[in-house]
């Protein structure tokens, strides 16, 4: 059985209605900051529970623009996690600041207890990453940030509709950045991102920054970027956004089913499961003994399992100038050596999940 | 009786007519069936980022324009930012450019941490090589000429300056796809050439899009990783990068339209030629001459006139859409305050900013449209 990682062909198998909408849309020529985008932004803000949403070119830009709007630049430091995707640190670097890493906890998110140690006079913001769809311990992090007068910008790229006690990812900080990349839980047909904020002045600044700093057609308030979510992509987003909740629920149900069966295998360790936080399983990641062996075994049997990520960010060649050394972040290192992600999307069938479970059992020689 | 009624009415020599400045909806009405079929194919493939359409488009553009490498990116602005970064230009460096471009030219320089240094322009609105020479300092690392309106900047002189002072040349060819000078395409003169395929450009996507031309394979490789988070494979980030990839769906739109580009350019050139005939001999209007070595693609058709704002209003009232590219020079924008310029810093560009007016020149104009616009202008100055 082939258990694919990407489900896009299934998700967009029946799109006649969407193509009709695209057909109508392209005839309007309303391609840049158009009406469909405004509609999408309003829906997105409502979905997350923020006052404003600003559509931008990518999830990376959804992190970069808030930093820029905070005035963060050369000589400044931004604290983030050592195990995230390159784009988090890339956004910090892009504005000229220096990423300062802290290790992660067993839930792949920032170990909040280590943050205060990393704060220096140059620290200008904290960027927690809700990695794999887990929520960072935001109440605790917020208390630390408040104590030091530091703004929080949340990397919620993998965590749409995750929450703690009903308060959603992206609504804790001054801004939250989301990705709409084709492989994200809520996705469009190319690169795209959204920033949410409930600060009206901050939202205005972000709107300027994404559109060349243009106050109107002729006047430029500040140097900015070109980072607008294509209105064409917003048409796709509008078509999908009403399903965001059912997509999330589909992932949570599949994760629970895996948990029940994979959790019983001694050679696998599940990350902690919380009852007070909603985890949205952008990635379903487990710790595996003999990870390389298990991955080979699964791949050979048609299961597209992946490693997010084999080299922790802080050890990437491109970041060597930051001066970190192997061993600086032992949890991130340990996880890089043993994590494995299985397909866990809303289109995955029970048969496919059973096949994954059976294949893993067979590898470890575990009876049903 | 009839005679006195006619006298009581204002003299109306021209039958009113709507001539819009842009006509994207007409473009789509004519092509949307084929376009949708192609989009459907792209979507079915599921490869929406860095798909085969992007590779095909890059190959076709490189071949068409005569460059070894083409790197598709998210926008024309990003094409400039990534080019400057790929050349190692950053804090402490100066880049010489024109003050009369779209803001993105200067903001790209600012966003890489360098300082934009402006040089005033020629009567044809392109950068003046003599002013560039005067602006060179020990910190100058590059010249960033803009092929404004689809007319190539004076590249031979600029390249000579660059050679003598060991400067890099990044061309802003956002408005100049297929423009040529002595047969050589805009965007292939310098180290890197930057293009935009924004919906309002001659070759246009259905959203933001851009690309870079390069002849140096190593620069090409670097740009490819810079546009995708600095990643050389799924796991390894060799350096800091950004996310600026052309969506496969936009590449599909551009592939569908590329075969029509010759026709678009020809229509714009012929419209411009017709305006020149129709407006010929009017002392109130300056139209920069087209030199024999120039093959201009008229992304905009710009006239320079006194009483510009009045003329624009007069045309608007009579159904003719026009635009101004650009009303406020970059050095006088609030964003540029920190650079310390003021009125009088670049007098040629500043004077032009008060006189320039872009007439509709798109490929959907008809001969009566052009005649109506010209006649309305003549009527205004009569």
Q: Is A265 on the interface with B (CB under 8 A)?
A: no
Which residue of B lies nearest to A191 if distances are taken between CA atoms?
B247
Which has more confidence, B12 or B130?
B130
Q: What is the pLDDT of residue B3?
A: 41
Closest CB to B334: pick one of A26, A60, A221: A221
| Residues A90, B230: C-beta atoms closer than 8 Å | yes
Contact: B237, A316; criterion CB under 8 Å: yes
3-class DSSP assignment, residue A79: strand
pLDDT digits (tens, 9 = 90+) for B220-231: 999 999 999 998
Q: Write the CB contacts of B303 (distance below 8 Å, at least 6 apart in sequence).
A: B275, B279, B285, B286, B287, B356, B357, B359
- A22 at interface of B, judged by CB pairs closer than 8 A: yes
Furthest-apart CA atoms within chain A: distance in Å:
71
Q: Confidence class of residue B6 from pLDDT cuts 50, 70 and 90?
A: very low
Share of chain A above pLDDT 90, in %: 89
Please say if the pLDDT value at position B244 is more than 70: yes
pLDDT score recorded for residue B13: 65
pTM attached to this predicted model: 0.89
Residue A179 has pLDDT above 60, yes or no: yes
Name which of A85, A191, A316 is nearest B49 (Cβ-Cβ).
Answer: A191
Residue A12: pLDDT band by 50, 70, 90 thresholds?
confident
Residue B98 above 90 pLDDT? Answer: yes
Residues in A closer than 8 angstroms to B91, CB to CB, are: 74, 96
Average pLDDT, chain B: 93
Q: Which helix (H) or strand (E) holds A268?
A: strand A268-269
Is the confidence at residue B71, as pLDDT, over 50? yes
Of B113, B235, B243, the CB nearest to A96: B113
The β-bridge partners of B116 are B95
Position B10 confidence tier, pLDDT thresholds 50, 70, 90 = very low
Rounded to a whole number of angstroms, the distance from the CA of B151 to the nearest CA of chain A is 22
pLDDT for B7 beyond 60: no
Inter-chain touch A32–B334, beta carbons under 8 Å: no
If pLDDT is split at 50, 70 and 90, which confidence band does B5 have? very low
Question: Which residue's entry shows tokens 């690392």?
Answer: B141
* pLDDT range class, residue B9, cuts 50, 70, 90: very low
Chain-centroid distance of CA A340 in Å reads 17
Cβ pair A304, A341 in contact under 8 A: no
Q: Do A23 and B32 touch (CB under 8 A)?
A: yes
CA dihedral B343, B346, B351, B355 (to 10 degrees): -110
Q: Which of A171, A179, A168 is nearest to A58 (CA)?
A: A179
Q: What is the pLDDT of residue A8?
A: 85
Q: How far is CA A11 from CA A4, A161, A346, in A?
A: 13, 19, 9
Q: Which of A220, A231, A314 is best to mutate for the B interface (most B CBs within 10 A)?
A: A220
Provide the β-strand partners of residue B301. B359
Average pLDDT for residues A145-156, to the nearest whole number?
98
Maximum average pLDDT range among A7-21, A309-323, B185-199: B185-199
Q: How far is CA A273 from CA A138, A276, A353, B222, B338, in A?
A: 16, 9, 20, 42, 52
Report the C-alpha dihedral over residues B79, B80, B81, B87, rounded to 10 degrees.
100
Contact B43 A15 (CB under 8 A): yes
Contact A320/B at CB under 8 A: no
Contact residues, A window 25-44, toward B, CB-based 8 Å cutoff? 26-29, 31-32
**ipTM of this model?**
0.83
**How many residues would you count in chain A?**
368
Of A86, A221, A226, nearest to B75 by CB-CB distance is: A226
Residue of A nearest to B251 (CA): A190
Contacts of B39 in chain A (CB under 8 A): 19, 22
The answer to whether A319 faces chain B, any CB pair under 8 Å, is yes
Per CB-CB distance under 8 Å, the chain A contacts of B75 are 57, 226-227
Distance in angstroms (rounded) separating the CA atoms of residues B325 and B302: 8
What is the number of other CB atoms lying within 10 angstroms of the CB of residue B46? 18
Write down all domains in chain A, each with its CATH number in brackets: 14-241 (3.40.640.10), 244-364 (3.90.1150.10)
List CB contacts (< 8 A) between A216 and chain B. none
Domains of chain B: 28-259 (3.40.640.10), 260-381 (3.90.1150.10)
What's the confidence (pLDDT) of residue B34?
85
CB contact under 8 A, B43 and A189: yes
- pLDDT > 50? residue A155: yes
Check CB contact of A213 with chain B, cutoff 8 Å. yes
At residue A361 the predicted structure's pLDDT band, cuts being 50, 70 and 90, is very high
B32 pLDDT tier (thresholds 50, 70, 90): confident
Separation between Cα atoms, residue B356 and residue B104, nearest integer Å: 20
Q: Is the pLDDT of residue A198 over 50?
A: yes
Which pLDDT score is estimated for B12? 55
CB-nearest to B335 from A181, A222, A319 is A222
Chain A residues inside the 8 Å CB shell of B111: 223, 225
User: Please, which pLDDT band fits residue A29 given cuts at 50, 70 and 90?
Assistant: confident
Nearest by CB to A90, from B104, B241, B247: name it: B241
Angle at B139 between CA B339 and CA B73, to 5 degrees: 75
Q: CB–CB of B207 and A28 under 8 A?
A: no
Summarised one tens digit per residue, pLDDT across range A68-85 is 999 999 999 999 999 988
Report yes or no: B134 and B119 within 8 Å, Cβ to Cβ.
yes
Check A57 against B244: CB less than 8 A apart.
yes
């Amino acid at each position: 059985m082939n258990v694919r990682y990407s489900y896009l062909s299934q998700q967009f198998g029946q799109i006649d209605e969407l193509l009709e909408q695209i057909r109508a849309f392209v005839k309007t020529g309303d391609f840049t900051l158009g009406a469909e985008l405004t509609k999408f932004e309003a829906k997105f803000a409502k979905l997350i529970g923020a006052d404003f949403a600003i559509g931008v070119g990518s999830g990376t830009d959804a992190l970069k623009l808030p930093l820029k709007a905070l005035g963060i630049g050369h000589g400044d430091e931004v604290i983030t996690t050592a195990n995230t995707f390159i784009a988090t640190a890339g956004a910090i670097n892009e504005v000229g600041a220096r990423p300062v890493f802290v290790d992660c906890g067993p839930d792949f998110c920032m170990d909040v207890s280590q943050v205060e140690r990393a704060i220096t006079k140059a620290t200008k913001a904290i960027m927690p990453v809700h990695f794999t769809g887990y929520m960072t311990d935001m109440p605790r992090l917020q208390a630390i940030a408040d104590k030091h007068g530091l703004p929080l910008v949340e990397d919620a790229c993998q965590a749409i509709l995750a929450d703690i006690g009903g308060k959603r990812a992206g609504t804790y900080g001054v801004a939250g950045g989301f990705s709409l990349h084709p492989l994200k839980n809520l996705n469009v047909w190319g690169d795209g991102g959204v920033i949410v904020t409930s600060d009206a002045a901050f939202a205005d600044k972000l709107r300027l920054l994404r559109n060349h700093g243009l106050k109107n057609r002729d006047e430029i308030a500040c140097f900015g970027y070109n980072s607008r979510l294509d209105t064409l992509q917003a048409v796709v987003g509008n078509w999908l956004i009403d399903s965001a909740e059912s997509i999330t629920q589909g992932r949570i149900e599949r994760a629970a089913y895996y948990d029940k069966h994979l959790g019983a295998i001694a050679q696998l360790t599940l990350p902690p499961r919380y009852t007070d936080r909603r985890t949205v399983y952008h990635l379903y990641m487990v710790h595996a003994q003999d990870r390389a062996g298990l991955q080979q075994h699964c791949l050979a049997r048609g299961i597209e399992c992946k490693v997010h990520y084999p080299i922790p960010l802080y050890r990437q060649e491109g970041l060597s100038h930051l001066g970190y050394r192997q061993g600086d972040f032992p949890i991130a290192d340990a996880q890089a050596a043993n994590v494995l992600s299985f397909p866990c999307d809303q289109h995955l069938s029970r048969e496919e999940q059973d096949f994954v479970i059976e294949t893993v059992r067979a590898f470890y020689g575990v009876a049903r | 009786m009839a005679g006195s009624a006619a006298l009581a009415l204002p003299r109306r020599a021209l039958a009113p007519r709507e001539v819009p400045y842009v006509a994207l909806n007409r473009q789509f009405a004519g092509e949307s069936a084929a376009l949708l079929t192609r989009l459907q194919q792209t979507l079915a493939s599921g490869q929406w980022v860095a798909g085969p359409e992007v590779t095909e488009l890059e190959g076709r553009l490189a071949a068409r324009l005569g460059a070894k490498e083409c790197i598709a990116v998210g926008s024309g602005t990003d094409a400039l930012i990534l080019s400057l970064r790929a050349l190692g230009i950053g804090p402490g460096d100066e880049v010489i450019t024109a003050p009369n471009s779209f803001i993105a030219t200067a903001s790209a320089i600012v966003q890489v941490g360098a300082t934009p240094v402006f040089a005033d322009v020629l009567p044809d609105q392109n950068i003046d090589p003599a002013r560039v020479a005067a602006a060179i300092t020990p910190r100058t690392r590059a010249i960033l000429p803009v092929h404004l309106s689809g007319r190539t900047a004076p590249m031979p002189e600029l390249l000579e300056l660059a050679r003598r002072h060991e400067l890099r040349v990044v061309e802003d060819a956002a408005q100049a796809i297929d423009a040529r000078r002595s047969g050589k395409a805009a965007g292939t003169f310098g180290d890197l050439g930057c293009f935009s395929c924004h919906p309002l450009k001659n070759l246009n996507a259905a959203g933001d899009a851009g690309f870079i031309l390069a002849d140096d394979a190593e620069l090409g490789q670097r740009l490819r990783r810079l546009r995708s988070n600095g990643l050389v494979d799924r796991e390894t980030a060799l350096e800091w990068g950004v996310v600026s990839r052309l969506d496969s769906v936009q590449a599909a739109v551009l592939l569908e339209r590329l075969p029509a580009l010759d026709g678009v350019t020809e229509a714009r050139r012929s419209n411009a030629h017709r305006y020149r005939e129709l407006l010929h001999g009017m002392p109130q209007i300056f139209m920069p001459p087209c030199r024999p070595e120039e093959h201009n693609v008229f992304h905009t058709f710009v006239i320079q006139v006194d009483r510009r704002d009045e003329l624009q209003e007069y045309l608007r009232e009579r159904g003719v859409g026009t635009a101004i590219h650009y009303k406020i020079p970059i050095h006088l924008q609030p964003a540029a305050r920190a650079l310390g310029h003021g009125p009088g810093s670049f007098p040629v560009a500043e004077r032009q900013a008060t006189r320039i007016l872009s007439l509709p020149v798109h490929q959907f104009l008809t001969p009566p449209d052009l005649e109506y616009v010209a006649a309305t202008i003549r009527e205004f100055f009569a």
